[in-house]
């Protein structure tokens, strides 16, 4: 303890109470108090606890999933018979664009980040995500982006140029009104959010793991999210840049995509798909991670081929950046280039296959515990393999040119995305729901939900393969009866209704079980990873004492005799956390985390004013940055008390050396 550089005094008593098991329940209560968010309505806007933010984030993403689903249901109603007049062409354009954009940008990527914000700290044995206030900011920014998009849709200004918004259709010449500007700014909002969350997840995994959790003991789900976070860092800037160029073309008359003045519309496609193909894997890898978390639990044995699994995840991450041109086979890129991308597209099947074999080996040699999450996991194999097969077909230039922009592609992408992401996500919801809420979801209702979803999904999307080969193009709002597409479309709509009922049953199940579900206890499935060490739902501080890890499945392997099993000595009355080394997770330093504050919320409002304002006048970028800068300085500026607490706990290596 010592004075600050300008003579600041250390806090007289803060930091004296230390955590650890010796203090018992009294100290644990102090910790809960320290890590809690303020109560009340205003307190709600100050929350920084990763569980509060993660829960809100998850619910928000599921609301967007429901909205996107309603839009899909409207499209299926419209297409259920030839010559239908339920929805006109202009509204239909907005609906399919909104559906795609919602599912891609407001659901599929953020929902997995939301789950990660909640689970990753628990799984690595930490009390918070790195940068808790930035976690809150990225959540608010995401909410405001989504609200802006739907606000615009409800006043008939919803984007209508498809979820990949190709110029020139989305450019200044053909994209009338503000519709494409809204789309471009929605991208800015969601990408800022996703990029910040990626940095948060990387830092949490690298520096905040429990002592002993070396790189080769990190749970596979956390590995998957780490790879995803790295992919986001390199992929998302491409779409953020591309959409900024688009909005500049529209608002300040630049010519990036204007061939008349030296621009090029294919520049958009390159930039978009340089993001867009990794995007598929950004959605798919978290699902793989969830499966790798569930399979060992329900096979009741450790994962087979851990190292091969990790290397496959990393290989998929790299290869996913070499595939983007296979979305552009119908354009005039050089034929030799297309051949390269065909080869790369085939190659990426290998790491995925390695993982599937490892899962099969684990299941084969395990003692299966047939619970609802396992149903979803097993259905993934069926659906994904079909989606993967059509993917291999589409990787071939000649076949792709034939079915390009047809319902075959619609079928393929839904098999991959729903099979690869939504089914694992639902399994994961059943699996981790007891951790979130403290109660188990109903198995009976869960099985009903599963079978309705599984059958409904296949009935809805399998006929689309045939429709596509029969020549039905994407994005048509209706079709004449003579083409003979009526029956299969009607079947598809019936399937979609069944799928919707299945999803609805899970919602009912979740709401009912929150009150009436069987009490879960800390580890209802007998799983091996650290999140099951925490109570269900976890206490505010996550762990009364941080665990020390001695293996890959700490709850199964236990602690060798005579070894340490928990950490002590962190302050209990200040938000002090332990930082460990990147590779070996050896205890390295202590750090005090910030307290709840409305600054992230206010900063998100200021950012929203800037982003939304810039749709209407480019000068908003200038005047909008002034309040934002003021808020950010206020956010950063330390209070007297923060400095005092910091000084009370401060220590440097030099200081320790002097004392010794």
**Cβ 479 to another protein shortest distance, Å:** 38
* Residue 30 binds to another protein (criterion: CB under 8 A): no
Nearer to another protein, 126 or 291 (CB): 126
List of residues 6+ apart from 258 with CB closer than 8 A:
171, 249
**Cβ 195 to another protein shortest distance, Å:** 5
Window contacting another protein (CB under 8 A); options: 104-112, 135-143, 475-483, 641-649: 641-649
DSSP H helices, 330-442, are 335-347, 349-365, 372-394, 397-403, 407-417, 423-437
* Residue 25 binds to another protein (criterion: CB under 8 A): no
Nearer to another protein, 455 or 555 (CB): 555
Nearer to another protein, 295 or 325 (CB): 325
* Residue 574 binds to another protein (criterion: CB under 8 A): no
Question: Quick one: how far is CA 554 from the chain centroid?
Answer: 26
String of contacts with another protein for each residue 269-298, x by CB under 8 A: -xx--x------------------------
* Residue 308 binds to another protein (criterion: CB under 8 A): no
Question: Pick from 44, 234, 448, 556: which binds another protein (CB under 8 A)?
Answer: 234
Is residue 321 within 8 A of residue 234, CB to CB? The reply is: yes
Burial of 343 (0-12, 13-18, 19+ CB in 10 A): exposed
* Residue 570 binds to another protein (criterion: CB under 8 A): yes
* Residue 252 binds to another protein (criterion: CB under 8 A): yes
**Cβ 425 to another protein shortest distance, Å:** 26
* Residue 653 binds to another protein (criterion: CB under 8 A): yes
Is residue 21 within 8 A of residue 566, CB to CB? The reply is: yes
**Cβ 602 to another protein shortest distance, Å:** 17
- Tally Cβ neighbours within 10 Å of residue 476: 13
Structure tokens at 20: 């650890």
Nearer to another protein, 15 or 159 (CB): 15
Nearer to another protein, 233 or 476 (CB): 233
Closest CA to 318 of 234, 192, 414, 385: 234
3-state secondary structure of 434: helix
Question: Pick from 483, 511, 564, 622: which binds another protein (CB under 8 A)?
Answer: 564
Window contacting another protein (CB under 8 A); options: 49-57, 244-252, 396-404, 503-511: 244-252
* Residue 21 binds to another protein (criterion: CB under 8 A): yes
* Residue 637 binds to another protein (criterion: CB under 8 A): yes
**Cβ 326 to another protein shortest distance, Å:** 19
d(CA 352, CA 369): 25
Question: Pick from 73, 91, 590, 613: which binds another protein (CB under 8 A)?
Answer: 590
* Residue 642 binds to another protein (criterion: CB under 8 A): yes
Question: Quick one: how far is CA 175 from the chain centroid?
Answer: 30
* Residue 251 binds to another protein (criterion: CB under 8 A): no
Nearer to another protein, 236 or 295 (CB): 236
DSSP H helices, 395-516, are 397-403, 407-417, 423-437, 443-469, 486-516
Burial of 653 (0-12, 13-18, 19+ CB in 10 A): exposed
Is residue 427 within 8 A of residue 378, CB to CB? The reply is: no
Question: Pick from 70, 169, 203, 397: which binds another protein (CB under 8 A)?
Answer: 203
Site for another protein in 499-558 (CB under 8 A): 545, 548
* Residue 173 binds to another protein (criterion: CB under 8 A): no
Size of the site for another protein (CB under 8 A): 85
Question: Pick from 73, 199, 494, 522: which binds another protein (CB under 8 A)?
Answer: 199
DSSP-assigned beta bridge partners for residue 576: 592
The CA-atom distances, in angstroms, between 181 and each of 157, 176, 503, 624, 645 are: 10, 10, 33, 17, 47
* Residue 639 binds to another protein (criterion: CB under 8 A): yes
Question: Pick from 60, 193, 258, 269: which binds another protein (CB under 8 A)?
Answer: 258
Closest CA to 581 of 571, 593, 570, 589: 589
Window contacting another protein (CB under 8 A); options: 97-105, 213-221, 324-332, 649-657: 649-657
Structure tokens at 315: 């290989």
* Residue 20 binds to another protein (criterion: CB under 8 A): yes
Nearer to another protein, 41 or 637 (CB): 637
d(CA 456, CA 497): 7
Site for another protein in 601-630 (CB under 8 A): 629
Is residue 245 within 8 A of residue 272, CB to CB? The reply is: no
Site for another protein in 206-225 (CB under 8 A): 206-208, 211
**Cβ 513 to another protein shortest distance, Å:** 37
List of residues 6+ apart from 38 with CB closer than 8 A:
46, 47, 596
Closest CA to 603 of 45, 50, 42, 43: 45
Question: Quick one: how far is CA 165 from the chain centroid?
Answer: 22
Question: Pick from 27, 578, 612, 615: which binds another protein (CB under 8 A)?
Answer: 578
Closest CA to 355 of 514, 156, 491, 220: 220
Site for another protein in 126-145 (CB under 8 A): 130-131
Structure tokens at 402: 């034939």
Question: Pick from 76, 566, 597, 603: which binds another protein (CB under 8 A)?
Answer: 566
């Amino acid at each position: 303890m010592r004075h600050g550089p300008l003579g600041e005094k250390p806090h007289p008593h803060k930091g004296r109470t230390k955590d650890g098991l010796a203090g018992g329940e009294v100290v644990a209560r102090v910790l809960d108090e320290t890590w809690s968010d303020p109560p009340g309505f205003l307190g709600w806007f100050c929350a920084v606890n990763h569980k509060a933010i993660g829960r809100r984030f998850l619910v928000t993403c599921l609301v967007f999933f429901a909205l996107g689903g309603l839009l899909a249901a409207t499209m299926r109603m419209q297409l259920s018979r030839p010559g239908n007049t339920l929805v006109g062409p202009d509204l239909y354009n907005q609906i399919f664009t909104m559906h795609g954009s919602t599912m891609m940008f407001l659901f599929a990527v953020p929902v997995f980040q939301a789950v990660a914000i909640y689970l990753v700290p628990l799984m690595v044995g930490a009390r918070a995500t790195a940068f808790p206030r930035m976690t809150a900011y990225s959540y608010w920014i995401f909410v405001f982006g989504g609200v802006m998009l739907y606000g615009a849709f409800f006043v008939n200004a919803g984007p209508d140029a498809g979820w990949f918004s190709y110029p020139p259709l989305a450019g200044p010449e053909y994209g009338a009104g503000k519709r494409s500007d809204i789309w471009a700014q929605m991208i800015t909002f969601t990408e800022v959010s996703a990029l910040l969350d990626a940095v948060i997840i990387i830092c949490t995994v690298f520096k905040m793991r429990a002592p002993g959790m070396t790189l080769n003991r990190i749970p596979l789900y956390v590995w998957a999210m780490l790879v995803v976070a790295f992919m986001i860092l390199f992929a998302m800037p491409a779409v953020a840049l591309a959409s900024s160029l688009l909005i500049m073309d529209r608002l300040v008359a630049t010519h990036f995509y204007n061939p008349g003045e030296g621009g090029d519309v294919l520049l958009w496609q390159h930039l978009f798909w340089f993001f867009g193909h990794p995007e598929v894997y950004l959605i798919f890898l978290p699902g793989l991670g969830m499966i790798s978390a569930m399979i060992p639990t329900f096979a009741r044995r450790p994962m087979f081929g851990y190292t091969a699994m990790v290397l496959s995840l990393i290989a998929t991450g790299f290869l996913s950046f070499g595939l983007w041109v296979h979305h552009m086979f119908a354009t005039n890129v050089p034929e030799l280039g297309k051949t390269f991308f065909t080869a790369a597209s085939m190659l990426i099947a290998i790491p995925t296959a390695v993982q599937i074999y490892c899962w099969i080996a684990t299941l084969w040699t395990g003692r299966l515990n047939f619970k609802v999450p396992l149903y979803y996991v097993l259905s993934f194999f069926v659906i994904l393999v079909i989606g993967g097969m059509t993917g291999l077909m589409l990787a071939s230039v000649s076949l792709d040119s034939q079915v390009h922009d047809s319902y075959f592609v619609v079928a393929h992408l839904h098999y991959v995305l729903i099979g690869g992401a939504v089914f694992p996500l639902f399994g994961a919801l059943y699996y981790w729901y007891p951790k979130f809420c403290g109660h188990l979801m109903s198995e009976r209702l869960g099985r009903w939900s599963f079978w309705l979803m599984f059958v409904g999904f296949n009935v809805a999307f399998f006929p689309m393969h045939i429709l596509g080969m029969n020549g039905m193009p994407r994005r048509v709002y209706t079709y004449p009866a003579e083409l003979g597409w009526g029956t299969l479309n009607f079947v598809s709509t019936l399937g979609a209704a069944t799928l919707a009922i299945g999803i609805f049953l899970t919602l009912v199940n979740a709401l009912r079980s929150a009150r009436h579900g069987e009490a879960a206890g800390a580890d209802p499935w007998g799983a091996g990873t650290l999140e099951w060490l925490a109570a269900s739902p976890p206490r505010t501080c996550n762990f009364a004492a941080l665990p020390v890890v001695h293996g890959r499945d700490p709850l199964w392997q236990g602690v060798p005799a005579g070894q340490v099993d928990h950490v002590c000595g962190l302050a209990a009355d200040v938000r002090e956390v332990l930082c460990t080394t990147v590779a070996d997770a050896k205890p390295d330093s202590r750090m005090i985390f910030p307290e709840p504050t409305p600054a992230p919320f206010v900063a998100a409002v200021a950012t929203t004013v800037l982003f939304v304002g810039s749709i209407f006048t480019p000068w908003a970028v200038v005047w909008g940055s002034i309040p934002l800068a003021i808020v950010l300085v206020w956010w950063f500026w330390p209070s007297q008390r923060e400095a005092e607490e910091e000084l009370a706990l401060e220590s440097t290596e030099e200081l320790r050396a002097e004392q010794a």
